[in-house]
Structure 1
Amino acid sequence: MGFQIDEPLSPGGRLFVQPATHQIINCVLGLEQPLGYDALVTVISDSLMIKHPRFSSLLITDDQGREFWRKIEVDVRRHVILRPDPVGEAGIDDEEAVNAYIADLTVSCPLKTNKPLWEVHLLSAHKAVVMRVHHALGDGISIMSLILTLFRKFGDPEQTPTIEPLTLKKGRKLGKMEKIVKVLKMIWFTLIYVTEFLLRGLWVSDGKTVVRGGEGVEMWPRKLVTAKFSLQDMKTVKTAVTDATINDVLFGVISSGLSKYLDYRSPDGLQEGLQLTGVALVNLRPSPGLQDIKELMKKNAAGAAGWGNKIGVMLFPVYYHRRSPVPLEYLKRAKMMIDRKKLSMEAFLSHQIGYFVMRFFGPKIASLLNYRVICNTSFTISNVVGPREEITIAGIPVVYMRTTSSSVSHAITMHMVSYAGKADLQILVAKDLIPDPEKLAKCFEDALIEMKEYAIQYQK
C-alpha cells in the first residue's frame, strides 16, 4: 500500500481559509422538474468531481498552523443534503425561496472540516440544487469547468456541454512608434493603479453613501435578488460602441443602475462624478472563458494554465451621474476605464503582491491587506461565462444557473453568470443598509433596456 503525502495549500488557498477572507462559492441550478436524491448521488458518484484531488481531500492544520490537503475516500451521501420541505416564507415563488435560502447560507453556514470542503443541497420542493464549494478548492473558472462534467447536452445524454473559449479580437499591427507609446502607457497606468491598490489596503476609501459597507458588515443579515438580462440585448448594446465587450456593457449597466438607485435613495442629490469603487476578481489564465477540465487537472500544468486560484484583483471605479441624457455614455466611460485597466499589469501585480506578502509576512497579514481593500471600497463584481447551450442533469433540463459567494464587508456583492442566451446577476446585499434590493435590480435591468433602445436608434 502506497503512503499518501499531504499536499500544502497554495497561497491562494491559504488566503481563502483565513477568517477575514473566508469564502464559499454557492452555485444554484434551477430545474424544470424535481430531481431525486438517489439520481443526484449517482450523477456525482460517476463524475470527475469526486476524482479530483481537491474534492476528495480533508483540510488539515498542523501544530504550526500550516494547512495541508489529505486524500481520503469520499462518501458522496455525506455531501448531499436533502431539503424535501419548502424553505423560506410562505407565499413566495420558488426563485425567491431559493434566493432567501442562499442568503442565509452566505453569512452563518461554514462548511464542516471533517469532510472535503464541498456539499450539495437538494431543494426538492423548489426544483433546485445548490452546490457549495470552498474557494480554497479553486477559482470560479476552475470550479465551473469541473461542475459542468455533471451535465449533459440537452437532447444528447452522451455528450458533456461544449466548452467554447472566448475569442480575442486581433488588433491591427502597430508601428514602432505606436509600440513605444503603448509600452509607456502600460508603465504609467500600472504605476497609477498598483499605487491605488496599495493605498486602498491602507487608508484611502470611498466616500460615504447609502450603498457603502465597511468593517463588520460581512456579518450583517443578507438578502439575495436576481437581475435578469438577455445576452442578445447586451450584444446589441455592445455593437453600438466600437470594440466594446460584454464586460464593458456590464460595467456600463452597473454605473447607470447605481446612479439611478442613488437618485432614488438620496433625493437631495449627491456630488456629480462621485466615485464608487468595485473590486473585481480577474482570471489570469492565458485562455479566457471556461477551460478544458482535462487540461486544468493535469498534475504538471504550469504557471497560470492549471488548476487553482489563478486570479488577480482590479479596482473598477464607476461614477455617479444624474440622468445622463445619452445612456451609451455610461458604456463609453466604462470601456475607456476598462481598456486602461487591461493595458496595465494591475491584475498580475496584485496577484504577485499577495504572493509576496503571503510568503514573507504570512497569511494573516495577506488576509488583512485584502480585507482592508474590501472595507475601503463599495462593491464586489464578477462575471463567469457559463455554457452557451441548454444542459441537463440526470436527464432533467436546467432552467437557470446562478452563483454568489459568502458575504464580505461590502453592502453589495454581484456575480453574473451567462447560460443559454441569458445572463443572471445575483445581487447579495446587507439588508439593513439596502432594504429594497428589488429596486436596485430593477435599476440595473432598466439601465440595459435604455441602452438597448438608444443603441437601436443610434444604429438606424
Structure 2
Amino acid sequence: MDAGAQKVGVSRSLHHPSLSLSLAAHGSPGTDSDEPLTPAGRLFHQPEMNQVIHCVVGLKNSLDIDSIKSQVRNSMFIKHPRFTSLMVRDRHGVEHWRKTSIDLDRHLIIIDSPVATADDESAVNEYLADLSTSSGLSTDKPLWEIHLLKAHKCVIFRIHHSLGDGISLMSMFLACCRKFDDENALPTIGTASNRRKNLKGKKEWWALVLGFVKMAWFSLVFVLEFVLRCLWVRDRQTAISGGAGVELWPRKLVTARLWLQDMKIVKEAIPNATINDVLFGVISSGLSTYLDHRSPNVLQEGLQITGVAMVNLREQSSLQDLSNMMERSNSGSSWGNKFGMLLLPIEYHKKGGTDPLQYLRRAKVMIDRKKQSIEAHFSYRIGYFVMSWLGSKIASLLNYRIVCNTTFTISNVVGPQEEIAIGGNPVTYFRANSSSLPHALTMHMVSYAGRADIQILVAKDIIPDPEFLAKCFEEALLEMKEAAEAIAKT
C-alpha cells in the first residue's frame, strides 16, 4: 500500500477537482475585506488532508422542504461569516475568505427517491460511504451543503473542516435546535470530565513536585513518540491496517449502538474512570475480538495498535459558552479549529478467560498518563509553527505520515442530553463522520439523549465485514456491564 504514496498527490487532485476550480475562478488579487485562513484551515485544504465533516440527523416526521428552507434562511448558516464566504486564492496561492451572497438552492440537495433498497439506516450509511470518497465540495460557493433524503426522513450536513471543528459545528447545530418538550429552551449538553480541575485544593509540596515530575516525564516520552511517528515509526501490519493511498479506496459505513447508561455502570466499577476511558476500553476489547476472528493464532500477545484522537483544547462548560464562539472570534473559546492530536496505543490480547474490565483498567492507565502530559498542546503548537513557518505542504506531509503510520482514528463529541427538535420535528438520531483518510478504520462517536452511536467507516477491501466489527464493540460493552454489575453485588 505504500506504493500509493507516489500517486497520492495526483490522485487527490483528481479526487477533488474543486481545488483547481478555486484557482481558475477566484485567482484575482485580494481585496481589503478578504480574511486569511488560519493555519489549521489551510491544512484542511491540502489535497492529502482535504476533509469534509458529515453531520447526520434523523427526523421523526416527513421532511417539509419549505419549512427547512425557512429554517436555514433564519439560521446561523446564513449569518456566520465562515458560511457566507468563498475560499479563494490570491496570485501567490495564499488562501483567503471572501464574503459573498448565498444562493440557498445551490446548497440544498433534495433527494426524493430512496437512495438504496435497504432499510433506512443502511441506506443512509451507504449514501454517506459514497460521499466519503466523492469529489468534495465545490469552491465556487461557500463550503457547505445540506442533503435532504426525503424517503428516509434524514438531513445530512456536509461542512468543510476548514470552517470549524466538531465543537464549533456542534455549537452552531444546537443553536438552531430546541428541546422537544420546550420549544423555547435551548438543548443542554454534558461536559467532558477533567479530573485535573476537580483535584483543586491544598496539596503537600511533595505531591506538587511529584506531579510536575510525572508531567515532565510523560510529556518527554509522548512528544518524542509523536515526533518519531511523523518520521518513520509505524504500527505492525494487521488485518485492519491502512496506508498511503487508502483514502481513495471504496468505503462502507455501519453504526454501533451503545447506551450511555451501560457505559456509566461500567465507569462506576473502576474508581475515577470516565466515559472516555470506557469508550477506549470498548474499542480495545472489540478490536481484540475482531482480530482474533480475522487472524486467529497469528498476532503476538500484547501487540500495540495505535489510534489517533483529536482533543478539544477549549475551556467550555455550557451551550452558552459554545454559542459565544460564534460571536467572540478572539476569545479562548473562539470559533474554528482548536484541537490537539493524541496517539492512543492499545494492546491486542486474546479474549479467552480475560476479565472484561482489564481492558478498561489498561485504557484508564494509558489515558491518565496522556492527560498528565502536554502532548495535545504540543501537537497543536508544533502544527501551528510548521504551518506558519514551513508552509502548508510540509505540515500536510507530516500529518499524512502520522495517519499512515498509525492504524485507526477515533473521536468523541458530547451531544444533547435530552431529545431535541428542529423546526418542531423531533430528532430520532444524531451521528457524525468525515471523509476518508489513509486509515482503513475511522470511528466517530456522538452521544444523544442517552445513546452513544459510533459511526464506523472502513475501507471495505481491507475490512469487508464492518457489521461484525460493530457487533464486537456492542458485545464488549455488554460484557463489561455484566462484570461491573457482578462487582456491585459483592
- 1:33-74 C-alpha deviation (Å, 9 max, x unpaired): 221211111111111222111011000011111000011122
Q: 2:309 aligns with which of 263, 280, 288?
A: 280
Describe the SS at the equivalent of 1:267: coil
Moved more, 7-16 or 142-151: 142-151
Q: What is the Cα deviation at residue 295 of structure 1?
A: 1.6
Q: How many residues align?
A: 455
2:229 counterpart of 1:200: yes
How far did residue 298 of structure 1 move?
2.7
AA aligned opposite 1:131: F
Q: For residue 3 of structure 2, what is the aligned residue in structure 1?
A: none
Choose which of 122, 126, 147 in structure 2 pairs with 1:100.
Answer: 126
Q: After TM superposition, give the deviation of residue 157 of structure 1 in Å.
A: 2.1
In the alignment, which of 347, 362, 381 is matched to residue 352 of structure 1?
Answer: 381
Q: Does the 8 Å contact 1:4/1:71 carry over to 2? A: no
Q: Tell me whether 1:215 sits opposite 2:244 in the alignment.
A: yes
Q: TM-score, normalised by structure 2?
A: 0.91
Q: Secondary structure at the match of 1:278?
A: strand
The superposition leaves residues 420-454 of structure 1 with CA deviations (integer Å, 9 ceiling, x where unpaired) of 00000000000000000000000000000000000
Letter of the structure 1 residue corresponding to residue 308 of structure 2:
V
Deviation of 1:147 (Å): 1.1
User: Which of 236, 253, 259 is the aligned partner of 2:282?
Assistant: 253
Indicate the residue corresponding to 2:14 in structure 1: none
Q: Tell me which residue corresponds to 1:135.
A: 161
Counterpart-to-counterpart distance in 2, 1:167 and 1:185: 21
In 2: Cα distance, 1:97 partner to 1:326 partner: 37
Q: Distance in 2 between matches of 1:458 and 1:279?
A: 32
Establish whether residue 112 from structure 1 lines up as the match of residue 141 from structure 2: no
Structure 1 residues 243, 290: CA separation in 2 closer, same or farther (over 3 Å shift)?
farther
Question: Which residues of structure 2 form unaligned runs of 5+?
Answer: 1-30
State how far apart, in whole Å, the 2-side matches of 1:300 and 1:228 are.
36
Verify: 1:161 aligned to 2:190, yes or no: no
Write the letter of the residue equivalent to 2:108: V
1:386 match: 415
Identity %: 58
Question: Is the 8 Å Cα contact of residues 290 and 386 (structure 1) preserved in structure 2?
Answer: no
**What does residue range 329-344 of structure 1 map to in structure 2 within 5 Å?**
329-344=358-373
Aligned residue identity for 1:197: F
- Contact 1:49/1:149 (CA < 8 Å) preserved in 2? no
Deviation at 1:374, TM superposition (A): 0.0
Amino acid at match of 2:303: L
Is 1:307 matched with 2:339? Answer: no
What is the CA–CA distance in structure 1 between the aligned matches of 2:366 and 2:47, rounded to whole Å?
Answer: 33
Aligned to 2:28: none
1:432 aligns to 2:461 (yes or no): yes
Distance 1:420 1:453 in 2: 23
The letter for the 2-side match of 1:110 is G
Partner SS state of residue 292, structure 1: helix
* Change in 2 beyond 3 A, CA 1:64/1:409: same
C-alpha separation in 2, matches of 1:51 and 1:135: 18
Alignment correspondent of 2:6:
none
Instruction: Look up the equivalent residue of 1:13 and give its one-letter code.
Output: G
Q: 1:25–1:135: 8 Å Cα contact kept in structure 2? A: yes
**SS where residue 201 of structure 1 aligns?**
helix
Contact 1:141/1:290 (CA < 8 Å) preserved in 2? no
Q: TM-score of the superposition, structure 1-length normalised?
A: 0.96
* 2:25 paired residue number: none
| Paired residue secondary structure (1:428) | strand
Where 1:182 maps in the other structure, the secondary structure is helix
Aligned CA distance change for structure 1 residues 44 and 62 (closer, same or farther; 3 Å) = same
- Give the stretch that moved more between structures: 407-416 or 161-170: 161-170
Aligned with residue 112 of structure 2, among 61, 84, 98 = 84
Does residue 126 of the first structure (1) align with residue 152 of the second (2)? yes
- In structure 1, give the amino acid aligned to 2:403: I
The answer to whether the Cα contact below 8 Å between 1:387 and 1:419 also exists between their aligned partners in 2 is yes
Alpha-carbon distance between aligned partners in 1 of 2:425 and 2:411, rounded to the nearest angstrom: 28
Higher alpha-carbon deviation: 154-163 or 226-235: 154-163
Q: Does 1:458 align with 2:484?
A: no
- 2:96 aligns to what? 68
Write the distance in 1 (CA, Å) between the matches of 2:137 and 2:368.
38
The answer on whether the counterparts of 2:329 and 2:335 sit within 8 Å (CA) in structure 1 is no
Farther-moved stretch of structure 1 (30-39 vs 445-454) = 30-39
Change in 2 beyond 3 A, CA 1:290/1:441: farther
Tell me the CA shift for residue 305 of structure 1: 1.8
Question: Residues of 2 paired with 1:289 and 1:229: CA distance?
Answer: 24
What secondary structure sits across from 1:42 in the alignment?
A: helix
Match of 1:144 among 163, 166, 170: 170
Q: Which runs of 5+ in 1 are unaligned?
A: none
1:443–1:290 Cα change, 3 Å: farther
RMSD: 1.4
Higher mean C-alpha displacement, 392-401 vs 210-219: 392-401
Q: Secondary structure at the match of 2:297?
A: coil
Question: How has the CA–CA distance of structure 1 residues 290 and 409 changed in structure 2, closer, same or farther, with 3 Å as cutoff?
Answer: farther
Q: Secondary structure at the match of 2:133?
A: helix
**Equivalent residue number for residue 296 of structure 1:** 325
Change (3 A) 1:264 1:163: closer
Deviation (angstroms), 1:288: 5.7
Partner of 2:23: none
CA contact (8 A) 1:61 1:67 kept: yes
